[in-house]
Structure 1
């Protein structure tokens, strides 16, 4: 029994248990909030001291951060995925382990009555947070104030849940990023023939907890090598066509071309904010 427990811990060194939240930074929080509500999310709480709003549906949390940075620096107008918070067994231990293996720590400035959530640098300017308060007592109980009269646990539309995150990487950077996620977090690279959804390009990594995936996408041949960044999130759906019908009823459009169209395997939403923001549905 003890040997089996040691092996299980070695395969999931941080005790990873899924995604706690995805954070978007934008100077247009109301516009992004409207899009999120179309996608089935509801605003449930406001941050105590920052211009930050929490949206939720089912077990998914999205944080919209419009709080300015140092010297009055504003967040970008077009929403960007600025952070992912990972549920772990012990946040402090997770931070120590990844820093020992080469991760770069992000100094966190904490205001009075706020939690200190450990973070490291992710791709581009993004951050990866470690959260161990996600059961009976959560980080939102401290840092956020519930919006009066709002259901704090709205049901997920059509059974939507986290499926994964798509990351754009630089040319010839695939091995580097696979090593980063494997050595620090315990992700495993899937075989080339194991693909999901209708956008199967790139390489796919499975989280050690089995709850979500990362898809790493390089520039196409002949294309310019753009910035590395977290590009979009994907939602899993037990019935993609039913989820698409429900979202269309809320005003969400979907990409329909001869080479890319809605099917039971998956779907891609329209884009917002001049093409910077979109969402993917994947059968799960």
Structure 2
């Protein structure tokens, strides 16, 4: 499928329409799978040829990749590790979006396609992460080719308490904000929100809105005086939008999820942070108008 130039929206040059999936790489797939099941996700399918599982709730898809090659080269086999290894962006046309990104200076990734697998175009993101471009033609999706449904499991489990993907937090090196702003603006026309406008529990850094206004990116530099702190540029956390943060916290606590309780980090009406689990993973809840409107719909 191709699109002519007169069909391209200059405000949204790649036809961005949200996040198709977020991929985690882990050397503890069972432990991490159990954690996101506590967060409301359900394992619905397994990859046809790799140690990869697809989890879903509502319109959110998480791909859990247990292939050792998916982890950063710095990961140690004897230590738990879980990282956000890729974000797949839903776009109007994947090939057009990919070529636009390369024309704007992004670095292409090398793909390895096996039998019965799709070649998903992508470029290098923060650290070792990948930004994939995925399009949909009618009801057909990438999961129809690459994954086999788990027998007896509903393929479209409902979202827990109105949860949806709100955004992704990325750590950046000190002073690198302008470079990353330029990266996301050039590739996809993200917009920098006014200084001081934040969502959720972590009110610092730089906030960027996607051109489709369906999710946000938060760029966070190391805190002052963090000279001895290990700080790598990478995707560090995803945020879930909910209509009522405190109600969602109560529900998730009942499911075994623990939240930070410090004076400056305790759950509030605006947001909440889970504790850091083994492997270095955490999640954030953010109050969301979209979730509130969905909850009020008849």
Gaps of 5+ in 1: none
What whole-Å deviation, never above 9, does each CA across 1:144-180 have from its counterpart, x for those lacking one?
0000000110000000000000000001100000000
Residue among 254, 258, 271 paired with 1:253: 258
Asked whether the 8 Å contact 2:8–2:15 carries over to 1, the reply is: no
Match of 2:201 in 1: 198
State how far apart, in whole Å, the 2-side matches of 1:248 and 1:193 are: 30
Match of 2:106 in 1: 103
State how far apart, in whole Å, the 1-side matches of 2:9 and 2:240 are: 27
State how far apart, in whole Å, the 2-side matches of 1:220 and 1:11 are: 33
Asked whether the 8 Å contact 2:44–2:154 carries over to 1, the reply is: yes
Match of 2:139 in 1: 136
Q: How many pairs align? A: 277
Match of 2:118 in 1: 115
Match of 2:152 in 1: 149
For 2:9, what is the secondary structure of its paired residue?
helix
Asked whether the 8 Å contact 2:120–2:133 carries over to 1, the reply is: yes
For 1:164, what is the secondary structure of its paired residue?
strand
Asked whether the 8 Å contact 1:87–1:134 carries over to 2, the reply is: no
Asked whether the 8 Å contact 1:233–1:280 carries over to 2, the reply is: yes
Asked whether the 8 Å contact 1:168–1:218 carries over to 2, the reply is: yes
Gaps of 5+ in 2: 289-298
Q: CA deviation at 1:58?
A: 0.3
Residue among 222, 226, 230 paired with 2:225: 222
**Is 2:282 the counterpart of 1:278?**
yes
Q: CA deviation at 1:197?
A: 1.0
Matches within 5 A, 1:41-60: 41-60=41-60
Residue among 262, 267, 270 paired with 1:265: 270
Q: CA deviation at 1:193?
A: 2.6
For 1:10, what is the secondary structure of its paired residue?
coil
**Is 2:182 the counterpart of 1:176?**
no
Structure 1 residue runs of 4 or more that deviate by more than 4 Å after TM superposition = 5-8, 73-76
Asked whether the 8 Å contact 1:26–1:75 carries over to 2, the reply is: no
TM-score by length of 2: 0.89
Asked whether the 8 Å contact 1:115–1:142 carries over to 2, the reply is: yes
Q: CA deviation at 1:195?
A: 1.0
Match of 1:240 in 2: 245
Match of 1:34 in 2: 34
State how far apart, in whole Å, the 2-side matches of 1:18 and 1:25 are: 21
For 1:95, what is the secondary structure of its paired residue?
helix
1:136–1:266 CA distance, 2 compared to 1 (3 A): same
TM-score by length of 1: 0.94
